[in-house]
Amino acid sequence: MSEFYGSSDETTNMETLQAALDSGVNFFDTADMYGAGHNEKLLGKAFAGKWGQITLATKFGVVRGEDGSWGGINGNPNYVMHACDKSLQRLGVDCIDLYYMHRPDPETPIEETVGAMSKLVKMGKVRLLGLSEVDPSHLRRAHHIHPISALQTEFSLWTREPFEEVISTCRELGITFVSYSPLGRGFLSGQVSRESLEANDWRLGLPRFQQDTIQKNQVFVEILRDIANRKGATPAQIALAWVLQKELNLATIPGTRQIGRLRENLGALQYELSEAELEEIHSRLPTQTLGARYPDS
């Protein structure tokens, strides 16, 4: 709602957040780097006086200047404390339900970062700890320092790579797997093309959204659309249903700015894919998605 996906309207964002709350959505995910702090302020405004109705997750570690400049990754213990205090201030809360390390800092051992996060729990500023985009080895090392409640990683029909090894580690350690971008940054909805994106949309610079790759990756949408048409669903709903059926101890966080899309996403809960449909998807899927997830991947 605050950055990356073209222009944004705060009134519409507030209405969508309220509609989500009214629809029974009770888990909201943000980060201090989204909009360089703007998104935490937005949620603080939207949910003032309503925090008891939801579980809030936010993240630290990707450093942004107030002007939006990028400052790398920081998992230094002193920075962890500073970042948490700033997030609490922007959100207007006394305690964050789930606090993630957004990305591992290659310059700081994960034990030191998680050790500082553990102190935040003891201080009552954070309830539960999470990690994002770490490998099984780092997850085990972190979990040894303090129980990790959630691991967030991109996972969808066109980003299946992390699933087997990471999810088996999560299952073994009792950690919830949180799938972000379950709709492939909107692509799997079948509603996204380069021509549909605004000039300031971050996706235009992603390898998977270049003209040659986006055309070849349409096969994912074709598979989803075929099954969706037979079930009276939309491609987005089938994509979400596929993610939700992968693992019992799994949550997913599709994002949207539009109430209509919110309701469409929630409608995925009514669809269950049969074994035959799951096998059809598996047999027709390309072995890999063309284009890396990020420009520097």
Residues marked active site are found at 34
Extended beta strands in the chain, E state? 27-29, 55-60, 62-64, 70-73, 96-101, 126-132, 150-154, 176-180, 250-253
Are 16 and 256 in contact, with CB atoms under 8 Å apart? yes
- Torsion of the alpha carbons at 129, 134, 137 and 140, rounded to the nearest 10: 10
Q: What is the DSSP letter of 238?
A: H
Residue (of 156, 174, 153) closest to 248 by Cα position: 174
- Other C-beta atoms closer than 10 Å to the C-beta of 260 total 10
To which H or E segment does residue 262 belong?
Answer: helix 259-266
What are the residues facing 256 on neighbouring strands? Answer: none
- Torsion of the alpha carbons at 180, 184, 190 and 195, rounded to the nearest 10: 120
Are 250 and 8 in contact, with CB atoms under 8 Å apart? no
- Tokens 């491609």: give the residue: 235
Residue 205 CA to residue 295 CA, distance in Å, equals: 7
- Other C-beta atoms closer than 10 Å to the C-beta of 138 total 19
